[in-house]
Amino acid sequence: MATVIDGKAVAQTIRSEIAEEVRALSQKYGKVPGLAVVIVGNRKDSQSYVGMKRKACAELGIKSFDIDLPEQVSESDLIKQVHQLNVNPDVHVCGKKCMQSGILVQLPLPKHINEEKVLSEISLEKDVDGFHPLNIGKLAMKDRDPLFLPCTPKACIELLSRSGVSIKGKKAVVVGRSNIVGLPASLLLLKADATVTIVHSRTTQPESIIREADIVIAAAGQPMMIKGSWIKPGAAVIDVGTNAVDDPTKKSGYRLVGDVDFEEASKVAGWITPVPGGVGPMTVTMLLHNTLEGAKRCFEKNH
Amino acid sequence: MATVIDGKAVAQTIRSEIAEEVRALSQKYGKVPGLAVVIVGNRKDSQSYVGMKRKACAELGIKSFDIDLPEQVSESDLIKQVHQLNVNPDVHVCGKKCMQSGILVQLPLPKHINEEKVLSEISLEKDVDGFHPLNIGKLAMKDRDPLFLPCTPKACIELLSRSGVSIKGKKAVVVGRSNIVGLPASLLLLKADATVTIVHSRTTQPESIIREADIVIAAAGQPMMIKGSWIKPGAAVIDVGTNAVDDPTKKSGYRLVGDVDFEEASKVAGWITPVPGGVGPMTVTMLLHNTLEGAKRCFEKNH
């Protein structure tokens, strides 16, 4: 039976470490990190994500700024807002000194706004989501380092390393090639010296490729696509999928499942993350970690 | 026996196509594309590459500008030069109107100059080498397109497609992960819907992975590392390696070999590129193609 990686517990450990560092920063510089969280419109899921992020900031002593814009906001007004946040260095909130050192624009944006354009306008030094193409370029390139790693891929690597799974020289397979998870995860694994294969919707016989992997990162968005028989005995399986499937036995009428068939795979794998409670709680934690890292650079520079 | 892909012949065909387009541009706009070729110092190999590039430009009706800087030039002076080339739109040379629409800085630069910094200063619109990290980021990301593709990876894809080798859904293995060839080649193959594995110096048992590949791009810089027995029968093998090995039977005392053992592999593969005469002649041709593409955008914009 696989060791089930407890994402909640790992996230809690890291959050304590971050809170400690925020306290140290506050003592040294007399101010705390600030994260501007921009949300456009009233999407229920986006509001729930943003709420989680703001709550997590508050718990760790990071000040979050709420910028709530209406659904109809124009692209140019949103970009103007981003530019203001880019230059905004020191702010006072409730008598507390704070430096707004990170900017997060919650995705997706309404259809009339070009996401790519907006994300490219965020100052590299404040791009805590790590989605700026220049950041991704540096992530891809050898001997270059991005200022921020995208949160979910960073969470996957952190879960592996904190579970004692070594990456160097291992065969890693990433299932999915999204800009947010699959692609940057494969670049991170490559930087960590894994031999990386990227499997996607056009791959024929993905099972035969996945079966060779010492490390599997599943980010395809396909409920329980990866069966137990697809897993190499002893492999480490990180399941990024969060899919709602009908379940009449639940009050809500649905339950969340990953891209991996957990029941089957946990009998074969060496390590596995559950859904929920695996990568999920780690992703917001990595955002907080990025915010802390950005703040440290920002405080140092403006000291 | 494999079909030997004649890189020289393919390059010649593409060069004729480019020359035709340059003539058409000249008729339409009354000016020709211009490529600024910057070389620092006296490295023999760099001078020989630059000479080839300048000669190829002249043959196709593209005007190349020679910017030869001394070995001791300071980083800031080199960057100043790049900035001047960035803004320089129209120039008159020998009574001919020309738009300097591309900039190439020959690598490597002397040790006292930060290559990364210099390359990042080249205007994206003129970055015909495609090495700007923002270009690489867009190459990596789904649904985004870089303005220029790096020349050698572009040459590999072009050789495959002009030989009738389809990429979509195929298993591709790239051997090597350099910023100039291996990494961008794997990103290009991924964009073309191959299932891509990147093999490198930390990979254990590369032969077993390469043996699964329908397409192999060898860019490891290891003379004849890839044996015939490593190749899947019928695979397409693109050999980017150009390694000098001792050969007392030659007047020069050496000969050039690829990363693939051509004699062995050509008995197994479906397609194979020779060294020399495979990827080599294509790389400069792709630079010329990038220069043409950049010029088209530049002429259109400034029309």
Domain count of the fold of chain A: 2
A63 is annotated as an active-site residue: no
Higher pLDDT, A57 or B100: A57
pLDDT above 80 for B93:
no
**E strand spans, chain B:** 3-4, 32-40, 63-69, 90-93, 96-105, 171-175, 195-199, 215-218, 236-239, 243-246, 254-257, 271-272
Do B278 and B200 share a domain, yes or no?
A: yes
**SS3 assignment, position B12:** helix
Does the residue B268 lie in any domain?
yes
Does A155 lie in the same domain as A107? no
Domain residues for the domain of A40 are: 30-123
Whether residues A108 and A205 fall in one domain = no
- Looking at the predicted structure, is the pLDDT value of residue B194 above 70? yes
Residue B182 has pLDDT above 70, yes or no: yes
Give yes or no: residues B155 and B277 share one domain.
Answer: yes
Which stretches of A88-193 are DSSP H helices?
115-121, 133-140, 151-162, 182-191
Q: What is the pLDDT of residue A92?
A: 63
pLDDT at res. B90: 64
> Given a cut of 70, is residue B290 above it in pLDDT?
yes
CB contact under 8 A, B187 and A144: no
Q: Taking CA atoms, what residue in B is nearest to A189?
A: B198
Residue B130 lies in a domain: no
**A195 and B199 in contact by Cβ < 8 A?**
yes
Read off the pLDDT of residues A185-224 as tens digits, 9 standing for 90 and up: 999 999 999 999 999 999 999 999 999 999 999 999 999 9
> Is the same domain home to B90 and B179?
no
- From residue A148, alpha-carbon distances to A132, A153, A220, B110, B120 in Å are 9, 11, 23, 30, 18
Residues of A in contact with B178 (CB under 8 A): 142
In a domain, A181, yes or no: yes
Q: Do both A119 and A238 map to the same domain?
A: no
Domain CATH for B173: 3.40.50.720
| Same domain, yes or no: A107 and A187 | no
To the query of whether residue A129 is one of the catalytic residues in this protein, the response is: yes
Q: What number is the ipTM of this complex? A: 0.92
CB contact under 8 A, A177 and B136: no
Q: Which residue of chain B comes nearest to A132, CA vs CA?
A: B137
Q: What does the pLDDT read at residue A95?
A: 62
Amino acid B303: pLDDT: 75
Q: Check which CATH number belongs to the domain holding B61 and give it.
A: 3.40.50.10860
Same domain, A107 and A166: no
A205 is catalytic: no
What does the H/E/C string look like for B65-114?
A: EEEEECCCCCHHHHHHHHHHHHHCCEEEECCEEEEEEEEEECCCCCCCCC
**Are A137 and B142 inside 8 Å of each other by CB?**
no
What's residue B92's pLDDT? 63
pLDDT tens, B48-90?
999 999 999 999 999 998 899 999 999 999 999 999 999 876 6
pLDDT attached to residue A93: 61
What is the sign of the dihedral through the CA atoms of A226, A228, A232 and A233?
positive
Q: State how far the Cα of B275 lies from the Cα of B259, in Å rounded to an integer.
A: 9
Asked if the model's pLDDT at residue B94 lies above 70, the reply is no
Residue B211 clears pLDDT 70, i.e. is over it: yes
- Measured between beta carbons, which residues in chain A are less than 8 angstroms from residue B148? none
Residues A157 and A266 in one domain: yes
In a domain, B24, yes or no: no
Contact B142 A116 (CB under 8 A): no
Q: Is residue A47 part of a domain?
A: yes
The single residue of A129, A214, A239, A261 carrying the catalytic annotation is A129
Residue B30 makes CB contacts below 8 A (sequence gap 6+) with: B97
Is pLDDT larger for residue B267 or for residue A101? B267
**pLDDT value, residue A94:** 59
Q: How many angstroms separate the CA of residue A215 from the nearest CA in chain B?
A: 14
Tell me what the pLDDT averaged over chain B comes to: 94
**Which chain A residue has the Cα nearest residue B138?**
A133
Average pLDDT over residues B119-147: 94
B114 and B160 together in one domain = no
Percent of chain B scored above 70 by pLDDT?
A: 97
Query: Which of B132, B178, B196 is nearest residue A197 as measured by Cβ atoms?
Result: B196
A→B interface, C-beta within 8 Å = 116, 132-144, 168-169, 177-179, 183, 187, 190, 193, 195-200, 202-204, 209
In a domain, A291, yes or no: no
Burial A100-114 (b: 16+ CB within 10 A, else e): bbbbbbbeebbeebe
Segment B214-224 mean pLDDT: 97
Distance CA B183, CA B177 (A): 5
Residue A14 lies in a domain: no
Per DSSP, what are the bridge partners of residue A100? A34
The answer to whether residues B273 and B160 belong to one domain is: yes
Share above pLDDT 90 across residues of chain B, in percent, rounded to a whole number: 90
Q: A119: which residues sit within 8 A by CB, 6+ positions away?
A: A105, A127, A129, A131, A132
Question: For B27-47, what is the mean pLDDT?
Answer: 93
Choosing from A63, A81, A100, A106, the catalytic residue is A106
Task: Kindly state whether residues B167 and B277 are assigned to the same domain.
Answer: yes
Give how far B175 is from chain A: nearest CA, Å: 10
Q: In this model, does residue B119 exceed pLDDT 90?
A: yes
Please list every residue in chain B whose beta carbon sits closer than 8 Å to the beta carbon of residue A178: 142
* The pLDDT of residue A101: 86
Instruction: Give the residue-averaged pLDDT of B31-43.
Output: 94
Q: Is residue B193 part of a domain?
A: yes
pLDDT at B198 over 80: yes
Those residues of chain A that have pLDDT short of 70 are 89-96
